[in-house]
Chain A
Amino acid sequence: MIDFLISIVSLTIPAGTALLYGTLGEVYAERSGVLNLGVEGMMIMGAVTGFAVTTATGNALLGILAAAIIGVLMSLVHAFASVTLRVNQVVSGLALTMLGLGISGMMGKRFIGLPLAGRLTPLDIPVLSDLPILGPMFFRFNILVYFSILLVPLLWFILYKTHWGITLRSVGENPAAADAMGINVSLVRYLAVMFGGMLAGLGGAYLSVAYAPAWIEGMTAGAGWIVIALTIFSLWDPRRALLGAYLFGGVRVLQFFLQPLGISPNLLNMLPFLLTIVVLWMISEQAFRRRIGVPAALMQPYSREER
């Protein structure tokens, strides 16, 4: 029984880590008022880039860095479209996802089925990893897992207890108010979206360089869409993002246990898309928006001269 618990927990946390990265990033982007439906695209590009660069250099950390950069670059496209050009954020984000899925498919052809030299290996924390029960449960992950967990309190603190956080939240709630106080609304939104892109890229690299580790076309398999849903279920709070990510990580793990019982994995695979539909409906419904505290300016482009 204990063994079962250990294996569930020690499988769930790694399974939820990519989701956690993506969600933390999207929380920040949406807090600034920009919905980025391109998470799936940025993640898959992070995955393929991470794999490619790690293969080429034999250094996983370089691969991860490259994935983060790709995430930022891709998110810039969305930031430019939605902040500067002020086009519909849903359309621009969807385009980004299509783009990412397409390009990664092409880029990744040569990597399919290749083993990864230099994968990210678990980093047993001295002393702690030798603890009975807790050791194998919590202290034998790779560095990206630990880093994602550290990010949670850090991002929570920045969001609620620092001037940056107040500025970020103000821009997402009432850009006109922030603007009137001399804040550069566009700059804040660009930075938030880019930060989101960086974490999405990291999440993708985590999948291909550490979790799998391999390149499989479309390997994110809707993780980016779950991120969109999780962002809303987290109510834009990094702490709840952790909870949600591990919950879904747990669902993924359960899938392995359920499949032998004859429950189709297709049911679970549908989940992200169903959730996304529900969630998009929720944030479009005025009355609901107010009740759950959606950043009031989410999806609304800001222009100083417009009334």
Chain B
Amino acid sequence: MTDSSPTPPAVLMRGITKRFPGVLANDHIDLEVRQGEIHALLGENGAGKTTLMNILYGIYHPDEGSIEIYGRPVSIHSPHDAIKLGIGMIHQQFRLVQTHTVVENVILGMGKGFVFREKEASEKIRELSARYNLKVDPDAYIWQLSAGEQQRVEILKALYRGAQILILDEPTSMLTPGEIEDLLKTLHRMTEEGHTILFITHKLDEVTAISHRVTILRQGRVIATLETSQTNERELARLMVGREVLFRLSKEQIQPGEVMLQVENLQALNDKGLFALKGISFTIRQGEIFGIAGVAGNGQRELVEALIGLRPVQAGRVFLQKDEITHDSPRARIEKGLACVPSERLTALVPSMSVAENMVLKSYRQPAFGRGILLDRTTVRSYSQRLIEQYAVITPSCDTLVKLLSGGNIQRALLARELSSQPRLLIAATPTAGLDVGATETIWQILLEQRRQGRAILLISEDLEEVMTLSDRVAVLFSGEIMGIVRSEAQNLEKIGLMMAGAFRLPQEEWV
């Protein structure tokens, strides 16, 4: 114990530095977290938040720096050490064994004795979940649980190990608005019991809603640590991004034109052979962005794959304008004017080929690009150069390999290619996932500009803010069904939240 202060901080990290090949993820970071507080760690994607917390949890080893827990210098070599020090971490990608039950996951590595006494263990878990209001069935299998429930299992795992210091890495990113509220309540309850909480986020409203203090990271450095009560979202945004941010995007009124995509009673299976889409119908018109909101894993992936022809359709029909494409090959669909920016953007590009080659990946068969069976490199390059300029892709040259670009530029290059064919419909699946605020802004602008030009766009995103900002109409996907279609207006937000949780279904005649 240090004698300088009566209650030493729960966590004190000093001069933490961590390098990955080519990036300085943490640059001499100092962080002090007081006992019993909720401390927010705010920063854009790539700021180094997860890295810092992984160091605290023993998953990464810092290149430099020291850590004290409750005033005692410690060295944390593995999660095992961290657990012994009373630290628990809930990762952004849950670390759960999907095929095991809740109890099996919770007691993992903690079991006393040789034989697994399931009843005793699940009794103890029931007690814990009642105490902290973390509702979950101990005997359920993880794969049966929603993202919110899985997160509760993760919290239970930490509590079961007696964690006093709890790290939550972007805990709200997979939750519905209702679930977020419950989580925040639980966290308050935990601080009342003396737990200390480290809450990672890049959402400003969450910082102001629950934290006592906030530390802002940018590009691996600490920018400031502030009392939350003495700051505001505007200041936080400026500190986080390093410049003033425009929060307003102009979305003008547009009269939607003719129907470009019509989906009727679409049904498809997931990889397990179960129905992932249970009869989905909607239409999208020219000059309209149609948003699909919902928590990940409710059929979004299957919907995209069924529409672009990578997943067989079990029943139902799909029309692109007047052409039926239900059973067309992916290539036939492309030729009929379907374009797609998939959620895993690197699967739509060849990362180890140049920007120019990627730009013509779908159109190189056109006579304009060829000389006989050979590619006409000069034409290809001048054509890509034009797209690079038009979409403001930042790249040293059009011969640079795609994998060397940043996420935002890869996405712009991909959009450039997909839009260059003037498609009848653009599918954009989580188009800004993993991008920072600046890059997100430009992607949003591109999509809105396309809408202005009369493009029909299907936007699928788990980021509710994104769906609400861009779309004209929003459909909520839950468990393979559309729960309702509403206008994207602030007053519908609560309804959308309930539908995302499956707690509410809008009667069909009220769909817009």
Contacts and interface: CB of A to CB of B under 8 A. Distances in A.
Contacts of A165: 116
B98 interface: yes
Contact of B97 (A173, A286, A290, A304): A173
Contact of B95 (A161, A167, A174, A287): A174
Contacts of A110: none
B273 interface: yes
B370 interface: no
Shortest 4 CB-CB contacts between residues of A and residues of B: A163-B111, A182-B80, A177-B95, A181-B109
A163 B106 CA distance: 12
A183 B99 contact: no
A181 B157 contact: yes
B114 interface: yes
A167 B273 contact: no
User: Is the interface on chain B under 10, 10 to 19, 20 to 34, or 35 or more residues?
Assistant: 20 to 34
B335 to A, nearest CB: 27
B107 interface: yes
B97 A177 contact: yes
Categorize the interface residue count of chain A. 20 to 34
Given A177-B95, A304-B59, A291 B109 contact: no
Contacts of A163: 107, 111, 113-116
Given A182-B109, A286-B271, A162 B115 contact: yes
22 contacts: A161-B115, A162-B114, A163-B107, A164-B114, A167-B109, A170-B97, A170-B105, A170-B108, A174-B95, A178-B108, A178-B109, A180-B57, A180-B79, A180-B89, A181-B110, A181-B161, A182-B82, A183-B109, A286-B271, A291-B273, A293-B99, A304-B59
Given A161-B116, A177-B105, A305-B60, A166 B111 contact: yes
Given A167-B108, A169-B97, A181 B59 contact: no
A167 B273 CA distance: 29
A230 to B, nearest CB: 21
A296 B95 contact: no
Interface in B62-83: 78-80, 82-83
B272 interface: yes
B84 to A, nearest CB: 8
Interface in B101-147: 104-105, 107-111, 113-116
A284 B157 CA distance: 32
A124 interface: no
A286 B157 CA distance: 30
Contact of B107 (A166, A178, A180, A296): A166
Contacts of B115: 161-163
Nearest to A173: B97
Given A180-B89, A181-B108, 17 more contacts: A162-B114, A165-B116, A167-B108, A170-B105, A170-B108, A173-B98, A173-B99, A174-B95, A178-B97, A179-B95, A180-B57, A182-B79, A182-B84, A182-B109, A291-B271, A291-B272, A305-B59
B272 A180 contact: no
Chain B binding site: helix, strand, loop or mixed by DSSP? loop
Interface in B143-178: 157, 161
A296 B253 CA distance: 49
If over half of A's interface residues share one DSSP class (helix, strand or loop), that class is named, otherwise mixed; here it is: helix
A215 to B, nearest CB: 40
B360 interface: no
B93 to A, nearest CB: 8
A181 B157 CA distance: 8
A297 to B, nearest CB: 10
B108 A183 contact: yes
Nearest to A295: B99
B96 interface: yes
Contact of B116 (A166, A287, A304): A166
A176 interface: yes
B362 interface: no
Interface of A: 161-167, 169-170, 173-174, 176-184, 286-287, 290-291, 293, 296, 304-305
A145 to B, nearest CB: 27
Contact of B83 (A162, A181, A296): A181
Q: Which of B82, B98, B99 has the most C-beta atoms of chain A within 10 angstroms of its own C-beta?
A: B99
B100 interface: yes
B108 A166 contact: yes
B91 interface: yes
A290 B271 contact: yes
B159 to A, nearest CB: 13
A296 B107 CA distance: 20
A184 B80 contact: yes
Nearest to B115: A162
A293 B113 CA distance: 28
A291 B161 CA distance: 33
Nearest to B81: A182
Contacts of A164: 114
Given A177-B105, A179-B79, A182-B80, A296 B99 contact: yes
Interface in B425-445: none
Contacts of A173: 97-100
A169 B79 CA distance: 19
A285 to B, nearest CB: 11
Nearest to B108: A181
Contact of B59 (A166, A174, A180, A287): A180
Interface string B308-337: 000000000000000000000000000000
Contacts of B78: 179, 182, 184, 304
B104 A166 contact: yes
B96 A174 contact: yes
Contacts of B116: 161-163, 165-166
A163 B105 CA distance: 11
A174 B273 CA distance: 22
A80 B322 CA distance: 61
Contacts of B161: 181
B98 A176 contact: no
B241 to A, nearest CB: 24
B272 A290 contact: yes
A165 B111 CA distance: 11
A32 to B, nearest CB: 13
A174 B82 CA distance: 20
